[in-house]
Amino acid sequence: MVTQRGRRDGADSAGRPPRRPRRPATPDADNAPTAEIPAVPAEGTGRNGDAPEAVRAKSIPEAAVARLAVYLRVLSGMSEQGATTVSSEELSQAAGVNSAKLRKDLSYLGSYGTRGVGYEVSVLVSQIERILGLTRQHKVAVVGIGNLGHALANYGGFPGRGFPVEALFDLDADLIGVPVGGLPVSHMDDIPRVCAERGISIGVIATPPTAAQSVCDRLVAGGVQCILNFAPVVLQVPAHIEVRKVDLAVELQILSFHVARRADDAAGSQGNSGLPGTGLPSDNGKGGRNGSGPDGGREMVVRS
């Protein structure tokens, strides 16, 4: 006796389930239809009482935030030169990113451009400034008035971008009271009081590494919310404090790695006694490529 198996609903005579309908193809990001750039409202609220730009800002990845700052610099330069519109290709090339990534980044702002026209420069500048919190100034304090601190205190580009330097600090008795960049240098012991009185929101640490944590603690005690740290140490801070570390030595080591890799690639592309024109090496009896190492190139260690 042959037992007949039950069919699934909609199955064919062979018992196979029905085919699922094909999903419509997703349009390519570069060829997707675009719309007018919506203006960012100056007022109004979103979910949980947040302003619309605050809601959007919470969903933007940190890597995209860094690129938005680059776009703002490029757009500001274009605006100064009289440009009123810019295409995604022009902006992506000037910013050093691919156009698909740029369009994705700008979509966090609600900006999609207009096909055949591009993006309106002034609108993009306004949107990015609002997302980055640049609609108000952020007062800056520089701690450590050595060579780097002097350079930062005298740099004229900060105020124009919304970051006026309002306080300077050092331990050197010969510097206390001496004006640098138009501001007198205060003693480090006065950091909490001066930062609280002047409403400092960003602190820049340009001290030797041994003093960095103590300076950081004083800045936090003075109400500073964000710290830019040039000292080659990891700072311990409360959870609500944002720290950005700039280690110039590490950056140079990373660049050194890329220089060495390109030199090895260039040497390999010239070929040797292996296959002509392919860059494929022969052993030469020295254990590696031209005897230079087991991986055929100079061995390098990047130390952080």
Give yes or no for residue 187 having a pLDDT over 70: yes
Which tens digits make up the pLDDT trace of 224-249? 999 999 999 999 999 999 999 998 88
Spacing of C-alpha 39 from chain mean position: 24
Q: Is 48 annotated as a binding residue?
A: no
Tell me the C-alpha distance between 118 and 112, whole Å.
9
The answer to whether 141 touches 193, Cβ cutoff 8 Å, is: no
Average the pLDDT over 41-50 and give the result: 41
Q: Is 144 annotated as a binding residue?
A: yes
- Percent of the chain at pLDDT exceeding 90: 36
pLDDT of 116: 72
Average the pLDDT over 112-123 and give the result: 80
Q: How confident is the model at residue 266 (pLDDT cuts 50, 70, 90)?
A: confident
pLDDT of 217: 96
Give yes or no for residue 79 having a pLDDT over 70: yes
Q: Is 154 annotated as a binding residue?
A: no
pLDDT of 114: 75
Q: Is 148 annotated as a binding residue?
A: yes
**Most confident of the following: 36-40, 157-161, 262-266, 284-288:** 262-266
Average the pLDDT over 178-197 and give the result: 95
Q: Which helix (H) or strand (E) holds 183?
A: strand 183-187
Q: Is 205 annotated as a binding residue?
A: no
Task: Give pTM, 2 decimals.
Answer: 0.59
Tokens of 191: 């950091």
Average the pLDDT over 22-50 and give the result: 39
Q: Is 145 annotated as a binding residue?
A: yes
Which tens digits make up the pLDDT trace of 123-181? 898 888 888 877 778 899 999 999 999 999 998 888 877 899 999 999 999 999 999 99
Q: How confident is the model at residue 265 (pLDDT cuts 50, 70, 90)?
A: confident
67-100 burial, b at 16+ Cβ within 10 Å, e below that, comes to bbebbbebbbebeeeeeebbebebbbebbebebe
DSSP 119: E
pLDDT of 152: 93
